[in-house]
Structure 1
């Protein structure tokens, strides 16, 4: 990992960013999923290696609440508009008008919104594991909070999976992640298929992921959408799929 470069959000939160490749190369902005980080989602899985080998510059970010970025504990800090605005702040700081976009789960959900609300910033995008980035309609907030605050065992299997994921990534703050999951429910909604991005979008979801058919439906509702199914992958291990990486590199090269 290169040393992080910190960007300030509109509210004054520090956002850790990382850059690989030549500054004059086409830039792929990589945005990770819930309870992950740039390192976990994109470096350890080979994405940065494959993208830079293909000649792209990679710009990674730890979303607020993750990695080396600030981790507020207030749910109000984690609205969708704030997460999308963080990415605009990153692009402005790096003097980038438009980028190629790669996002997974929460990062894909934010990417969808960025592509809809600020289309001038997204040339084309790969959105993996969407629409599960709400986050997270399947996570039981009260059980996750009770575990974070008191160590109460989590009974719900999906919630237990997310807690296990959160504890697997070094530096994660479970209370911040619970605040994120709660905060995005205050005003956020799932991606609106009646208002899809107009850019060319590649959707990718694991064959064993419960959201597979909903992902297909979003791709079908997107005017320039395409879909790739990732064989034998579920929601938590899809970022490591070679099929996923290769499809993304080829998609970006078709620009």
Structure 2
């Protein structure tokens, strides 16, 4: 199992496609992993088929990576450092960051912190929630720690508890992650992200916030509406794949 070390943790990763292809780093969402977020929905095959070198990793606390239970270890800044540690491990100086949901938040923090290493950015499943927040997630932490899903009444809590159970996740690690991984960026910080940015959000997504609103704050942002898709289904949408490929072809050109 390929792993790399970052800040004392061993994180699982994948690195596929032509080594001389333009690199793209996939950054998955909360309670997900490489397989659920990127392999099963067809992103690896789509991007490698288009000639890209595709890297991805399981966040700390997720998938096949180490799973600490200390909530202080799960800031977007720390997870952005994990992303750069993978690029260092793979010998990649620059890569387009493509994040979904929590992964989009981590990618935005990464682009702001090290712009010279992030030439372009794709934010899926996160719009104005990056600035305004994504609601009260304390019920989700409570749902993750509940002894049984039958004890969970909150609708969003049940959704994420079901998802965590389906992915055989360490629910205590996820509950720790959710406490500090939702840091927001100010409008002034968003305005400093000068790279080309594609923001894709499902039209039925009640979590992400407005893609158009976030794109308007970005100097070089554009919004893409993923028609009739909610937060869970938008990631694998065929029209979103086409929009991402068109965006990548433009920034690569």
Conserved 8 A contact 2:18-2:53: yes
Runs of 4+, deviation exceeding 2 Å: 131-134, 136-152, 211-215
1:213 Cα offset (Å) = 4.9
Q: How does 1:145-156 map to 2 (within 5 A)?
A: 145=142, 148-151=145-148, 153-156=151-154
Partner of 1:217, secondary structure, is helix
Q: How does 1:7-26 map to 2 (within 5 A)?
A: 7-10=4-7, 12-26=8-22
How does the TM-score come out when normalised to structure 1? 0.90
Partner of 1:194, secondary structure, is helix
- Residue 194 of structure 1 corresponds to which residue in structure 2? 188
User: Which of 153, 157, 160 matches 1:159?
Assistant: 157
- Residue 174 of structure 2 corresponds to which residue in structure 1? 177
User: Which of 33, 45, 48 matches 1:49?
Assistant: 45
Distance in 2 (CA, whole Å) between partners of 1:20 and 1:44 is 15
Gaps of 5+ in 2: none
Partner of 2:121, secondary structure, is strand
1:27 aligns to 2:23 (yes or no):
yes
Distance in 2 (CA, whole Å) between partners of 1:147 and 1:72 is 15
User: Which of 83, 94, 97 matches 1:98?
Assistant: 94
Deviations 1:161-207 (A, max 9, x none): 111111121x311111011001335xx2x232222211000000000
Deviations 1:10-31 (A, max 9, x none): 2x01111101111111111011
Gaps of 5+ in 1: none
The verdict on how the C-alpha distance between 1:140 and 1:228 changes in structure 2, with shifts beyond 3 A counting, is: closer
1:75 Cα offset (Å) = 0.6
1:5 Cα offset (Å) = 1.7
Conserved 8 A contact 1:19-1:58: yes
Query: Which structure carries more helix by proportion?
Result: 2
Conserved 8 A contact 2:121-2:197: yes
The verdict on how the C-alpha distance between 1:247 and 1:153 changes in structure 2, with shifts beyond 3 A counting, is: same
Q: What is the count of residue pairs matched by the alignment?
A: 246
Distance in 2 (CA, whole Å) between partners of 1:213 and 1:66 is 24
Distance in 1 (CA, whole Å) between partners of 2:75 and 2:36 is 23
Conserved 8 A contact 1:204-1:227: yes
1:5 aligns to 2:16 (yes or no):
no
Q: How does 1:174-253 map to 2 (within 5 A)?
A: 174-184=171-181, 188=183, 190-196=184-190, 197-211=193-207, 213-253=209-249
Distance in 2 (CA, whole Å) between partners of 1:158 and 1:178 is 14
How does the TM-score come out when normalised to structure 2? 0.91
Conserved 8 A contact 1:139-1:158: no
Q: Structure 1 residues 123-132 or 240-249, which shifts more?
A: 123-132
- Residue 123 of structure 2 corresponds to which residue in structure 1? 127
- Residue 141 of structure 1 corresponds to which residue in structure 2? 138
